[in-house]
Structure 1
Amino acid sequence: MHDIEPHFGWREKYRAENDNYSPFYGREYSEFGYTNKVYNYLLHPQWDEFGAETLYLKQLFTDYDEHYVIIEMIGEWNDAVHNDVMHLKREFTDQLIGNGIRYFIIIMEGVLNFHGGDTDYYEEWVEEITEDGGWIALLNSHDHVMDELTQTRLDNYLAYGEQFNNLAWRPQKPERIFEAVEGLMQTGTRRVY
C-alpha cells in the first residue's frame, strides 16, 4: 500500500494544503517519511489522517462557488469499533459544511472493508446538507462494501450502487465528475432524501 498515491491529476487546480478553508491547510508532506499505516501496511505520505485508525483520505478538489468537494479514501472504514464516521464528521466535514460545502463525492475504490455501526453521524451529516439540496455520493465502491453499507441501512443517507461505479473519474476534470453525479442525483438514482 505504500506506493498507492492519491490521485494527483488535479493538483495544478487545487491543493488542500493551500486552501485556508480546508482542514488540511498548511500541511507539509514528506515523500520519504512513511508514518501512517493501515494495520501493518504503510501508506504513502500524501494521504491525510483525520483521527481514524485505519482510514485516510485526500481532499482532491473543492469548489466553494459550486459547493462541492471530491474526496478519495483508502483503508478500512470501521464504524463498529473505531467510529470512523465520527472522526470524519467532526474533523473534516463539519469545517467544509461551515464553509458552504453541501455536495460530497467520496471515491471509495481504496476502501477495502466497511464495518457498520450507529447511523447517528450520517443522519446528522445529511440533515445539515439536505436543507440546501445537498447529498453524499460514493463512487467505485466494492460490492462487499456496498453490501455492508446496505445492511447498516446507510442507503438512507448515502447514494451508491452500480450506476455510481461506472463513472471513469480519473481522466475527467472535477467539474465533469460533479456534473455527472449531480445528474444521477437529479434523476432520482439512489436518492437519499
Structure 2
Amino acid sequence: MHTIEPYYGWRNLYVASEDSRSPFFGYQNSEVSFTDQIYNFVIHPQWDNIGSESLFLKVLYVDYANGFAFLELFGEWNDLINNDIQTLKRDVVEVMVGEGVNKFILIGENLLNFHTGQDYEDYYDEWQEDLEEGWIAVLNMREHILDEMSRYGVDHYLVMGGKLNDLSWRTRHPKQVFKQIDELVTKRLDW
C-alpha cells in the first residue's frame, strides 16, 4: 500500500496545502517518512490525513468560481468503526461548502472497502442538503463498493455508476473532466 500515490498530474494547477481556502492549507506531507498507516500497512506519505484511522484523501483540484472539487480517496471508508462520513463531512466538506463548493467529485479507484449502516444516513442527507443546487458524484468505484453503497441507500445521495464508473480523467484538464461529469449528472438528475 505504501507505493500507491495520489494523482499528481494537476499539481501544476492546484495544491491544497497552498490554498488559503482549503481545509488542508499549510498541511505538510513528509517527503521521506511514512507517518501514517491503515491497520498494519504504512501508506504513501503524500496522502492527507483527515483524522480517520482508515480513510485518507487528496484534494486534487478546486475551482471556487464554478464551485467544484475533485477529491481522490484512499483506504477504507468505514462508517461503522470510524464514523468516516462524520469526519469527512465536518472536517473537509463543511470547510469547502463554506467557500462555495457545491459539486464534489469523489474519485474512488484507490478506495478498497466501504462499510456503513442505517445510523449514518443523516450525514449523507445533511451533506446533500448543504449543497443546494449541487451534487456529489462518484468516479471509478470498485463494484463491491457500489453494491454496498446501494444496499444501504447511500446511492440516494451520490450520483454513481454507469458512465461515471469508467471515466478516463487523468489525461485531461480538470475543467474538461468536470464539464463531462456535470453533463452526465445533470442528465441523470433531470431524468
Q: TM-score with structure 1 length normalisation?
A: 0.95
In 1: Cα distance, 2:155 partner to 2:24 partner: 29
Partner of 1:187, secondary structure, is: helix
Which residue does 1:124 correspond to in 2?
126
Which residue does 1:77 correspond to in 2?
77
Q: TM-score with structure 2 length normalisation?
A: 0.96
RMSD: 1.3
Structure 1 unaligned spans of 5+: none
Partner of 2:138, secondary structure, is: strand
Which residue does 1:40 correspond to in 2?
40
Return the offset for 1:127.
0.3
Q: 1:55 to 1:127 in 2, by over 3 A?
A: same
Partner of 1:147, secondary structure, is: helix
In 1: Cα distance, 2:99 partner to 2:109 partner: 27
Which residue does 2:97 correspond to in 1?
97
Q: 1:192 to 1:2 in 2, by over 3 A?
A: farther
More helix by share: 2
Which residue does 2:184 correspond to in 1?
184
Return the offset for 1:192.
9.9
**Which residue identity lines up with residue 22 of structure 1 in the other structure?**
S
Partner of 1:60, secondary structure, is: strand
Contact map agreement 1:149 1:155 (CA 8 A) in 2: yes
Q: Alignment identity in percent?
A: 43
Aligned residues: 189
Structure 2 unaligned spans of 5+: none
Q: Which contiguous aligned blocks of 4+ residues in structure 1 show a shift greater than 2 angstroms?
A: none
